[in-house]
Structure 1
Amino acid sequence: MEKLIEIKNTVTLQGLDCANCASKIESKINDLPEIQGASVDFINASCTYITNDSNNDKVLDSIKKIVNELEPDVRVITEEVKEEEEEDFKGKKIQILAGVVLIIIGFIVRSYSDLFGSIFFVASYLLLGYEVIVKAVKNLLKGNLFDENFLMAIATIVAIFLQEYLEAAAVMVFYQFGELFQDQAVATSRSNIASLMDIRPDYANVIRNNEVETINPELVKINEVVVVKPGEKIPLDGVVIEGSSMLDTSSLTGESLAFEAEVGTNVISGCVNLDGILKVKVTKPYGESTVNKILELVENTSSRKANAEKFITKFSKVYTPVVVISAALLALLLPLFINIPYSESIRRAATFLIISCPCALVLSIPLGFYAGIGSLSKIGILVKGSTIVESLSKVKRVVLD
């Protein structure tokens, strides 16, 4: 019987900005028969999956179909794409500012005419809530009722129905502010973690046929000799066979003082050559080099989920349906026990829906871990994953050499 080979792949989920949606995508992908295991990394906006199906295009099509059903605005791409996050934030800030300005104008105009004041409030609501409503409708048509877009759309539409135009606009303003702060917090963590990626060597100067060729470090073979000039990074692990120089290893070891490398010295990839020219005989391929192992740890930090993250992911699957059902019961049954009209019970149910939005709940624990990992990365400390952060919270004593 032929043994199946497991293949590990990673794709980028460009535009993924919802933690609750990320957990749903991960669950659906894991349900695919050809998938042996999948993990969606919300912070790095990527999906890593293991499959024993040699037809990766077929697997990718299945993943794209799932993502399109759950999050139509998210693109599944196989190559790394640099997103212009600053431009996105700028556009979002302008949108929120415009919405706030419309509300302020509505306040001023309302003192003269309630009708014109309401028009400005509704304009603000449509400006800030249009995308939310469109997503809610698309998900509704696909049978995906229970998400934060559905909750926000129902709650604010109820407010409009009750002629509480200011409340509907204000809810969307606060919701968009929350989304903006969430996106910025995630982007900051991404940036801090990605800062460690600067240790990656871009090229290697290898001697072949008595000539120096500049090639990708991954193409260099064991026992080949690479030339490292002043200011360049050592591309692969090896031993110095000619020359001497001072090496800066601070980005790898945290050691602030440079050390001298001479003939016979073992050197590791990622170190920066400060002055002399070195010839280094390669002892390990790039895949086994020190810098590549560190980069793999950085890239896979969020795939190691802590127990608290696993629990909140499972809990979120039942949380939103329970919230929606509870809100419906609140609207229907509250007037039977308290002497209030149905309009008031509906208002309270809408308020309950707003404050019960699941995205903040699902994001709170992962973002806490990622913020910690990101902050440590900013000062050069590498943490293998949120499981380690969870363990560090229980540490009582630290011994340093």
Structure 2
Amino acid sequence: METLRTTYMLSGMHCAGCAAQVEQRVSELPGVMKATINFGASNLIVEGVVNHDKVIKEAEKEGVTAKPMGVKMDEDVPKSFVQAHKDSIITGAATVLFLAGWLLGLSGYKVAEVTLLVLSIVIGGYKTARSGLYGLRKLNFDMNVLMTIAVIGAFAIGAWIEAALVVIFFSLSNTLSVYTLEKARNSIKALMGLAPREATLIRNGQEIRLDVEEIQIDDVMIVKPGEKIAMDGVIVKGASSVNQAAITGESMPVEKGIGDEVFAATINQQGSIQVKVTKRVEDTTLAKIIHLVQEAQGQRAKSQEYIDKFSKIYTPVVIVLAVLIAVVPPLFFGSVWSDWIYRGLALLIAACPCALVISSPVSIISAIGNAAKNGVLIKGGVFLEEAGVLKAIALDKTGTLTVGRPEVTDIIPANGVSEREFLEISAALERYSEHPLAAAIVRRAERDKIVLPEAEDFSAITGKGAQGTVNGVTYYIGNPRLFNDLETDIHQIQKEIERLQNEGKTAMILGTKERVIGVIAVADEVRESSKQAIARLKEAGIKRTIMLTGDNQATAKAIAEKIGVDEYRAELLPEDKVAAVVELQRKYGKIAMVGDGINDAPALATSNVGVAMGVAGTDAALETADIALMADDLTKLPFTIRLSRATVRNIKQNIWFSNGINILTMILIVPGYASLLFVALADVVAAVLVVLNAMRLLKINPTK
């Protein structure tokens, strides 16, 4: 025994009710400080002094198999056929006993019939009865309690066949639910199996094969053509194309060379490369994705919170109603006791909210799993539902709608200054700036092999430009607003500035307080996918798209028209983007903001749904965004919106369908039109159809 935080992988957990039972049982174990079930990811997190055997036994009491992660027990030993198919075997055994008893009853062997039917009830309903009695002791009136009371009641009035069939149907429903839910969860299990467990390393000049757990940061891996990359790292030798679909969802391979980052679980397609490891196995991008998706699948959506509250009131009310139906007509109207007790028992079964309680979580599990498989991380059901009702989306320009790597397009010197001298001064100033436009000027100077003088007293002027002293003269570089503030006459280059801006370029002026030295234009290439993505967003139901940028009005207008956004807001400082999001929320209601997840963090946090793009390998953006697009592929945004809308529809369909089935069967019970068998079968069909409906979300494709 040791004090730790242990995660247990669970299997056989078919509903939120049994998850709550496992959580409560484990919480009551001596030394356990806290136990938390993640129903979506199907795991249990236990904090405190943990005895693994006791935790496993408590889970088994609910028919759930628990396996500690990272604990060397029997997790690597394959399950026997009986262990792997325990629920199916129990259901099958109960069915065989029922059929044998029923046939013997037809032949006149009543004692043998009753004996076999009782055995069928005990074998098929033992797990349900144990959970139901535990729930009664804790005053937790879940579906196991309702089913247990109903079967005991049927047993008491001699309805052996009905009692046995109710047990079989309920057991079958649980078995099918476990099977279909496990299929929905397989997207995460598939992620967990993507990365290889071993890698070839160079140590002391020799090639050795090691488990990934033994690999340290700065170790160098050899990755041959066709091999999967085992760890995150940086290429230090060689070049190749890498299939990054497992991480980013990109269908096309990406060319990689020395200095480029690569991720665990991606595939080296061509040349042999050597990769220096930058992260331990538990910190890789893939590991973070798995962790975030598991957390997301366990978070409760608003619809699920409604269902939980509804069920807590609904179940006790139904028990009272069933008692009244069973007792009032015989007591006050002289009706036959057995008939009305039978109807009361049928009402208990009809009222079992099996389908209802899984209607939301199974849809969330399916949608988040599908998104993760296609390079989109959705942080929980809340954000999935929020994205499903959006009418407007704001998008930052730089790095989102554009490539984010601007280049110099025009240099227009003035007042007798040469182009080379102009570039020398402007690059000397801008090399101390972190702005992408500044980087473009420095790159141009490097390409022209200009030796840059030192710039002293450099300072950035937020939202306007920068200043510094070069060769004893104080220069300024920035947008026209900066020179208007300096009261410098820019009349002589005004027409050139307007022309450049109308072409969609960003014009920056270089000068002193007294005179203008010239203007330099920089343009950021619009992504090829941007126009297509905006069009597909409208097809997905987004009414308004708004571009936010720090560019001037003319440049912003040119880019907005080229891409096809409905509106734009220009000349925005970082704090202005937050104000713009607030204004758009007042105008359109809920707003999503799409940006790079770092520079746009305040605006993303202010929006209802913050979407960060191109965040593979960017831990900060992965953690802060509500939705993260792993690749620099804006077409994944329409896919996310379509998936979110489909999920909202799916949840509503499931809730209406499950409630409708329950209400219909309860209406049929009172006049005696619905038997115990009909009601039990309806419960099975409803639960299975709800899960199958939710699994349709796994089929939604980014390319359609």
Aligned to 2:17: 20
Aligned to 2:443: none
2:11 matches 1:11: no
Aligned to 2:154: 159
**Deviation, structure 1 residue 210:** 2.3
Aligned to 1:128: 124
2:37 matches 1:40: yes
Name the amino acid aligned to 2:41: N
**Deviation, structure 1 residue 194:** 1.2
2:560 matches 1:325: no
Normalising by structure 1, we get a TM-score of: 0.79
Aligned to 2:164: 169
Name the amino acid aligned to 1:197: M
Q: CA RMSD in A?
A: 3.9
Contact in 2 for aligned 1:247/1:274 (Cα 8 Å): yes
1:127, 1:30 → 2: CA distance?
A: 28
2:317, 2:80 → 1: CA distance?
A: 35
1:181, 1:307 → 2: CA distance?
A: 26
2:68 matches 1:68: no
User: Superposed, which structure 2 residues align to 1:189-268 within 5 Å?
Assistant: 189-217=184-212, 219-268=214-263
**Deviation, structure 1 residue 9:** 4.5
**Deviation, structure 1 residue 40:** 0.9
Name the amino acid aligned to 2:68: T
**Deviation, structure 1 residue 114:** 7.0
Aligned to 1:273: 268
2:56, 2:193 → 1: CA distance?
A: 34
1:265–1:112 Cα change, 3 Å: closer
For structure 1, which segment, 90-99 or 165-174, has the greater mean C-alpha deviation from structure 2 after superposition? Answer: 90-99
Aligned to 2:414: none
1:139, 1:69 → 2: CA distance?
A: 14
SS of equivalent residue, structure 2 residue 193:
helix
- Picking from 56, 59, 78, the partner of 2:68 is 78
1:333–1:117 Cα change, 3 Å: same
1:194, 1:98 → 2: CA distance?
A: 30
1:109, 1:44 → 2: CA distance?
A: 46
1:66, 1:242 → 2: CA distance?
A: 48
SS of equivalent residue, structure 1 residue 391:
helix
1:36–1:267 Cα change, 3 Å: same
The structure in which a higher percent of residues are strand is 2
1:29–1:285 Cα change, 3 Å: same
For structure 1, which segment, 214-223 or 355-364, has the greater mean C-alpha deviation from structure 2 after superposition? Answer: 214-223
**Deviation, structure 1 residue 183:** 0.9
1:139–1:65 Cα change, 3 Å: farther
Name the amino acid aligned to 2:344: A
Normalising by structure 2, we get a TM-score of: 0.48
User: Superposed, which structure 2 residues align to 1:311-322 within 5 Å?
Assistant: 311-322=306-317
**Deviation, structure 1 residue 131:** 3.7
SS of equivalent residue, structure 2 residue 360:
helix
- Picking from 356, 365, 370, the partner of 1:370 is 365
For structure 1, which segment, 182-191 or 326-335, has the greater mean C-alpha deviation from structure 2 after superposition? Answer: 326-335
Name the amino acid aligned to 1:271: T
1:18, 1:306 → 2: CA distance?
A: 16
For structure 1, which segment, 268-277 or 105-114, has the greater mean C-alpha deviation from structure 2 after superposition? Answer: 105-114
1:221–1:99 Cα change, 3 Å: closer
For structure 1, which segment, 346-355 or 303-312, has the greater mean C-alpha deviation from structure 2 after superposition? Answer: 303-312
1:292, 1:66 → 2: CA distance?
A: 25
**Deviation, structure 1 residue 234:** 2.2
Structure 2: which 5+ residue stretches go unaligned? 392-536, 541-633, 637-704
- Picking from 384, 391, 396, the partner of 2:386 is 391
**Deviation, structure 1 residue 174:** 1.2
Name the amino acid aligned to 1:41: N
For structure 1, which segment, 344-353 or 235-244, has the greater mean C-alpha deviation from structure 2 after superposition? Answer: 235-244
- Picking from 277, 282, 293, the partner of 2:277 is 282
**Deviation, structure 1 residue 156:** 1.6
1:62, 1:315 → 2: CA distance?
A: 35
1:123, 1:216 → 2: CA distance?
A: 50
**Deviation, structure 1 residue 74:** 4.7
Contact in 2 for aligned 1:43/1:302 (Cα 8 Å): yes
User: Superposed, which structure 2 residues align to 1:89-168 within 5 Å?
Assistant: 90-113=85-108, 115=110, 117-136=113-132, 146-168=141-163
**Deviation, structure 1 residue 20:** 0.5
1:295, 1:359 → 2: CA distance?
A: 29
Aligned to 1:400: 635
For structure 1, which segment, 270-279 or 222-231, has the greater mean C-alpha deviation from structure 2 after superposition? Answer: 222-231
Contact in 1 for aligned 2:125/2:167 (Cα 8 Å): yes
Q: How many residues align?
A: 388
Structure 1: which 5+ residue stretches go unaligned? 1-6
Aligned to 2:444: none
1:118–1:87 Cα change, 3 Å: closer
2:354 matches 1:350: no
Name the amino acid aligned to 2:43: S
**Deviation, structure 1 residue 263:** 2.6
Kindly name which structure, 1 or 2, has the bigger radius of gyration based on alpha carbons.
Answer: 2
1:219–1:183 Cα change, 3 Å: same
Name the amino acid aligned to 1:47: L
1:334, 1:69 → 2: CA distance?
A: 42
Name the amino acid aligned to 2:144: N
2:389, 2:83 → 1: CA distance?
A: 39
Contact in 2 for aligned 1:298/1:382 (Cα 8 Å): yes
1:369–1:84 Cα change, 3 Å: farther
**Deviation, structure 1 residue 186:** 1.4
**Deviation, structure 1 residue 179:** 0.9
Aligned to 2:356: 361
